[in-house]
């Protein structure tokens, strides 16, 4: 169902591509929207967790089921533990089509149209997030955290000390992006052209 819905356009007229705010040799924050990705949610009960660990390896080639608030990845596929009993699978390729009948017990749900993904990078990217959310970013790389910005639930993946993926609800994404942009101007912000989901280049720091 999600593949047939037109995704919301966040940038363009809303946030002009280019350099804004404080001048300097290098922008303190770079904001890039990732588009055209597939986001599939799978759910399982506690007594299904062992089977789910086997499923993610056999069906999707992932090295492991992430720990709670964790992540794992393989070429072109990111797995995020959104809740104790829910994982998100993110890829450039459609994930919900042609699933075997055995996958029905994991309640597959296409969330592709419900989320906007922003990549925040740069020396002040963590500070920018903390101006909008009281979240501890001193955690290890690869942590996937649920928090809020202006009372709106968002999810953040820490890719590295200066690299974060934000998953924002589509209905609030433009407002939240403007808030981030306004604050980022004090650091100097580069708004990049939107990119398609980076199939092989998106890596969590090790």
Residue 112 and residue 124: Cα distance in Å, rounded? 29
> Tens digits of per-residue pLDDT, 102-139?
999 999 999 999 999 999 999 999 999 999 999 999 99
State residue 8's pLDDT score: 42
pTM, two decimal places = 0.89
State the pLDDT at residue 122.
Answer: 96
Whole-angstrom distance, CA of residue 108 vs CA of residue 96: 7
Closest CA to 78 of 129, 17, 144: 144
**Could you give the CA distance from residue 147 to residue 149 in angstroms, rounded to a whole number?**
7
pLDDT tens digits, 47-65: 999 999 999 999 999 999 9
- The whole-angstrom separation of Cα 186 and Cα 192 is 17
| 205: helix, strand or coil | coil
Arithmetic mean of pLDDT, 70-75: 91
Look at residues 199, 4, 200, 9 and name the one whose alpha carbon lies nearest to residue 96.
4
């Amino acid at each position: 169902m999600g593949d047939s819905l037109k995704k919301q356009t966040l940038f363009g007229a809303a946030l002009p591509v280019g350099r804004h705010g404080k001048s300097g040799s290098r922008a303190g924050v770079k904001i890039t929207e990732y588009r055209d990705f597939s986001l599939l949610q799978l759910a399982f009960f506690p007594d299904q967790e062992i089977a789910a660990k086997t499923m993610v390896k056999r069906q999707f080639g992932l090295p492991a089921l992430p720990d709670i608030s964790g992540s794992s990845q393989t070429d072109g596929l990111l797995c995020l533990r959104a809740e104790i009993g829910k994982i998100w699978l993110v890829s450039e390729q459609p994930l919900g089509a042609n699933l075997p009948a055995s996958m029905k017990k994991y309640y597959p749900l296409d969330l592709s149209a419900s989320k906007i993904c922003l990549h925040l990078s740069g020396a002040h990217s963590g500070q920018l997030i903390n101006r909008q959310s009281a979240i501890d970013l001193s955690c290890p790389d690869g942590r996937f955290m649920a928090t809020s910005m202006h009372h709106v639930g968002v999810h953040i993946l820490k890719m590295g000390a200066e690299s974060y993926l934000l998953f924002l609800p589509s209905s609030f994404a433009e407002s939240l992006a403007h808030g981030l942009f306004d604050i980022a101007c004090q650091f100097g912000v580069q708004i990049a052209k939107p990119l398609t989901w980076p199939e092989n280049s998106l890596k969590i720091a090790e």
